[in-house]
Amino acid sequence: MRTLFFIAFTLLISGCGLIPRTGTPSEALKIADAMGVPAADMPRAQYDKLLAQQQTPNAPKISDDAISGATHLLASGDPTMLLLSGFSARSISANVQLVAWVPEDIASSPEKAVEISSKAYIEASANARARSEEERQRMLKYPVRYVLGQPYGEGGPVHASAQLLDLIANHTPALVDAPPFMNTRSKVYGPIFIGAWGGHSKAEDVQATLRMSSLLPHWFYIYSPGLAGVTPPSIMNRGKQQLFIQP
């Protein structure tokens, strides 16, 4: 029953990109929209119906807060945690997106914003992923190879042209109003996409990315495409995971 529950959950949300948007978007969807990452919420009614199908006390219990709010990672290492996974291969939604909106009060210029966000990523990545102090020191020396102004992946001819230009010359971010979900009236430089990444290949990748998000500044958001049989697509921020479920 436990496995069937999550298989059904997977099937429902895997097809959610085809459903027209109605109702209030989740916080995850608001952030994905600001990133320019194609995504869609699972309708709340469908999720509630799926929850109602749990008939056994051994079925996993997922609270309302764990779905609609800023949540901790649902993937706990349990191999039966079959949640939704991914969108079409090679698409924007299939890739990890690391995105910064750097507040104007800590960056005096677009170049400084890129420098600050790149340094924050390098340090967080090294601290989250290194298996020894020697490896951490080595990773701290790795430069950020790409700085983009749009999400990495296939997104049409215009997107491809802009992406190619950024891959060659790097991106200079504009000073803009902060997205509403940041809850500030300050101006920010962004969005700044750090690196050009593929998807997760194993559960450890997802866990390391979540750990890294806990070490990044509050103005850094990560889109995770999820991983088949492990965890759903989500937005990661400050060590928590927000899912694409209508509130």
Q: Assign 86 a pLDDT band (cuts: 50, 70, 90).
A: very low
Q: Which residues, listed in sequence order, are joined to residue 35 by a DSSP beta bridge?
A: none
Number of domains forming the structure of the chain = 1
Question: What's at 225, amino acid-wise?
Answer: P
> Which one of 8-17, 35-44, 180-189 scores highest in mean pLDDT?
180-189
Alpha-carbon gap, residue 60 to 62, rounded angstroms: 6
DSSP 92-154: GGGS-EEEEEEEGGG-SSHHHHHHHHHHHHHHHHHHHH-SSHHHHHHHTTPPP--EESS-SSB
pLDDT band at 161; cut points 50, 70, 90:
confident
pLDDT given at position 82: 27
Structure-model confidence comparison of residues 169 and 81, the more confident one: 169
Contact 92, 155 (CB under 8 A): yes
Give the integer Cα–Cα distance in Å for 173 and 170.
10
Contact status, residue 26 vs residue 247, Cβ threshold 8 Å: yes
Q: What is the pLDDT of residue 6?
A: 42
In a domain, 194, yes or no: yes
235: in domain: no
On whether residue 238 sits in a domain, the answer given is no
Whether 200 and 61 have beta carbons less than 8 Å apart is answered as: no
Task: Confirm whether 17 is domain-assigned.
Answer: no
Say if 187 falls within a structural domain: yes
State residue 54's pLDDT score. 57
Question: From CA 226, how far away is CA 96, in angstroms rounded?
Answer: 9
Q: How many CB atoms lie within 10 A of CB 61?
A: 8
Q: What is the pLDDT of residue 90?
A: 62
Give the range among 73-87, 158-172, 179-193, 213-227 with minimum mean pLDDT. 73-87
pLDDT digits (tens, 9 = 90+) for 37-76: 999 998 888 877 776 775 455 655 544 333 333 233 333 3
Reported pTM: 0.78
In a domain, 178, yes or no: yes
Q: What is the pLDDT, as a whole number, of residue 234? A: 95
The CB density around residue 93, as the number of other CB atoms within 10 Å, is: 25
Q: Please report whether residue 112 resides in a domain.
A: yes
* Stronger pLDDT, 4 or 183, i.e. the higher one: 183
Residues of the domain holding 117: 92-227
* Residue 139 is assigned to a structural domain of this protein: yes
The mean of the pLDDT values for the chain is 80
CB-hemisphere CA count at 13 Å for 132? 3
